[in-house]
Amino acid sequence: MTPNVAGKHVCKITLYAVIILELFWLFVETRGDFANGILFYLQAQMNIIVWGFFAILFLSSYFLGKMMGEEMLKGRKHLVVASIYGLVEGLILVAYAIIVFITQGQLDNMLHTIPELALMIIVPILLLWLVAASTLKQKMK
User: Which tens digit of pLDDT belongs to each residue from 97-126?
Assistant: 999 999 998 888 888 998 999 999 999 999
Tell me if 100 sits within 8 A of 46, measured CB to CB.
Answer: no
| Residue 18 and residue 128 in contact, taking contact as beta carbons nearer than 8 Å | no
Q: Are 122 and 91 in contact (CB under 8 A)?
A: yes
Please say if the pLDDT value at position 30 is more than 90.
Answer: no
Q: What is the pLDDT of residue 35?
A: 86
Give residue 82's pLDDT: 95
pTM: 0.90
Q: Which residue intervals of the chain are DSSP H helices?
A: 3-29, 34-45, 48-73, 78-103, 107-110, 114-140
Give the residue-averaged pLDDT of 51-76. Answer: 94
Q: 69, 6 in Cβ contact below 8 A?
A: yes
- The whole-number pLDDT of residue 2 equals 80
* Residue type (1 letter), 85: Y
